Amino acid sequence: MTSPSDRPDAGLGERLRELDAAGTPESGALFDEMFSEMKTRCDESDRTLAGFLRSRSTSVRRAIVLSIFALLGVAGWFAFPLIGAEGRTLQWTASLVAFCLLLVLAMFMVTRPVHLPAIPRWQSWCLVCVALGATVVAAFWPVPAALAATTHDHGGGFMAGACMGVGLLLGVPVYALLRLVDRGNALGNLVAAAAAGVAGNFVLKAHCSIAGTSHELLGHASVALVFVVGLSLVHRWIPSETRH
């Protein structure tokens, strides 16, 4: 999350106090220096990808995110073979729809306009908890008998680890994109982490044909948990200045 020292207005309060204490002849020079410095910082920020995206309007940022989400979704949908027809149940479809809705909701929360009241922290926590819960619920859907009959021993923990690795890789672009367009929302890093975990689960749910609750808990739901817990620890213990 953007720290106060990273913002163009860092030090503005101190400059204004200098102006209050300064005599009238020097005030104009101090004003010129202050705004010149702020303009330089803004120009430097706009030359970065994050600065460019964050300087766009809310509608443009949301259009960019939705477009990239759609592109990633289509690419992921056709990059791997879909789960067999016997596995495409109503519950399977409901899980995919729920994951999509959570992704869109996370996007709206992260790109909330700064002139509106900040989103309460409890709402961000609710989204994170619902996202984690959705991945766990998806693992407990009954396995269709036809799909269970076609499932063989795939190495147990090895395949769960493989799915988890794939899910983490697939979630990284989503996390990075949401952090790039975030102007500093409270708990925006956790919302982006939950969205990344949901995105990984969407692709795994759509394509993984290994039936079984234990496999989905260890290989699918764990993706969202690792993103949320891991990245929350990163943001807690590593200073913001070090990450920028």
Tell me which of 32 and 110 has the higher pLDDT.
110
Q: Please state the rounded mean pLDDT for residues 110-135.
A: 91
Angle between helices 188-207 and 90-110 (to 10 degrees): 160
Q: Which residue has the higher pLDDT, 142 or 5?
A: 142
Which tokens belong to 205? Answer: 């749910």
Average pLDDT of span 203-227: 89
Tokens (6 digits) for 191: 């919302």
- What pLDDT does residue 26 have? 53
At 110 the three-state DSSP class reads helix
187-214 per-position pLDDT tens digit: 889 999 999 999 999 999 988 878 788 8
Residues 6 or more apart from 82 whose CB is under 8 A from it?
A: 88, 206, 207
DSSP string, 105-152: HHHHHHT--TTSPPPPHHHHHHHHHHHHHHHHHHHTSPPPHHHHHH--
In tens, the pLDDT along 67-109 reads 999 988 888 778 777 777 777 788 889 999 999 999 999 999 9
pLDDT mean across residues, the chain: 79
Q: pLDDT exceeding 90 applies to what percent of the chain? A: 36
Query: Tell me, what's the pLDDT at 1?
Result: 45
Of 160, 157, 100, the closest CA to residue 131 belongs to 100
- How high is the pLDDT of residue 11? 56
pLDDT of residue 17: 59
Confidence (pLDDT) at 74 = 85
Q: What is the pLDDT of residue 50?
A: 79
> CB within 8 A of 73, min separation 6: which ones?
100, 202
- In angstroms, rounded to a whole number, what is the distance separating the alpha carbons of residues 19 and 82? 65
pLDDT of residue 5: 45
Residues in Cβ contact with 165 at an 8 Å cutoff, skipping those fewer than 6 apart: none
- pLDDT digits 0-9 by tens, 148-192: 555 555 555 668 888 999 999 999 999 999 999 998 888 889 999
Residue with tokens 């995110």: 65
The per-residue pLDDT for 29 is 65
Q: Which residues contact 96 (CB under 8 A, 6 or more apart)?
A: 202, 205, 206
Q: Which helix (H) or strand (E) holds 58?
A: helix 58-79
- Rounded to two decimals, the pTM is 0.74
